[in-house]
Homo-oligomer: A and B are copies of this chain.
Amino acid sequence: MLVVMDRGATPEQVDKVVKIIESRGMTARPIPGGDRVSIGILNNKGPVDPALFLGLSGVKEAIPVTRPYKLVSREVQPDDTLISVGNVTIGNGHLTLMAGPCAIENETQAMTIAEKVKEAGGKIFRGGAFKPRTSPYTFQGLGEKGLQILAKIRETFDMPVVTEVMDTDTFDLVEAYADILQIGTRNMQNYSLLKRAGQSGRPVMLKRGMSATLDEWLMAAEYIMSEGNSQVMLCERGVRTFVRHSRNTLDLSAVPVIMRESHLPIIVDPSHAAGYRDQVIPLSRASVAVGAHGLIVEVHHKPDEALSDGAQSLYPEQFEALAKWAGSVHALLKE
């Protein structure tokens, strides 16, 4: 933290800032400049709240210098985290394709899609049993019945499954069935849920909030890790901007920045970012090329009849072509 004083700040005002810093057990280092004083803060444990200083008279700004996160940081753990689920490894050097329908609608639908995903080269099956929906009047998922279908898919196709867990009330239930627990966009800062996920033995896929900064996202991952669960992967799924031609704006620059700041794997979900099938394929290609550790995409054999998000679901043959392409480009990246 660097506290920048007003040009005409008095020595007493500078002193007050120094005292506050020292009273919290940190070190204050005033830096007299040409026309104003700044005060550096050293030896802080954890983040310093700018609000401590911003209201004081004579203070112009409080500029954070170091990052607020710790366990998720590459400075703390230089080597990439690798996550193993069944016989699949996620992270450094691997490109993991996850695919399936938005929602599990019934056993036939799910099994049909799972077979095609498996054949096309998908490694992990996705499908929602509990669905967070903007409207209380739309299909909310099959619940436990959906989880049972997921379990059958895992056994039948030897494919781990990822599904969303929406709240602490149903956590034990979802945890009993899923291989990877997904925490959705709307719950990225649901701290009770994050803490519960931190106590789980399952890997967690944490989706980025609709308008979360990377710091906020990594801090949400820090909540999970600080409770003891280090198997966390991040998932970029687009952010909300003024743009309207896609549902959200896929922020691919997040991939290299997360890789520089953190050791956690990062997956991209182009389906929810795009919202329209015609954009999903090019954005999937871009996500592989930017260097993500994996893709999670929606696939449906009859998207026109899907109960949710049909417009963004790929046909199985489109997913197959994408998977082949992704493999070629991933190989080029490793050259």
Contacts and interface: CB of A to CB of B under 8 A. Distances in A.
B310 A55 contact: yes
A333 B325 CA distance: 8
A291 interface: yes
A249 B246 contact: no
A219 interface: yes
Interface in A27-73: 27, 29, 31, 33-34, 36, 38, 40, 42-43, 46-47, 49-56, 61, 63, 65-66, 68-70
Contacts of A135: 46-47, 68-69, 219, 222
A187 interface: yes
Nearest to A16: B304
Contacts of A121: none
A167 B192 contact: yes
A294 B11 CA distance: 38
A274 B289 contact: no
Nearest to A51: B311
Given A65-B2, A253-B283, A213 B47 contact: no
A7 B137 contact: no
Contacts of A169: 168, 192
A210 interface: yes
A53 B318 CA distance: 19
Contacts of A168: 167-169
Interface stretch (A83-91, A145-153, A173-181, A236-244): A236-244
Nearest to A260: B278
A323 interface: no
A332 B210 CA distance: 33
A95 to B, nearest CB: 13
Nearest to A248: B253
A189 interface: yes
Interface of A: 2, 4, 7, 20, 27, 29, 31, 33-34, 36, 38, 40, 42-43, 46-47, 49-56, 61, 63, 65-66, 68-70, 75, 132-138, 166-169, 186-187, 189-193, 209-211, 213-216, 219, 222-223, 226, 239-246, 249-257, 260, 273-279, 282-283, 285-291, 303-304, 306, 308-313, 325, 328-329, 332-333
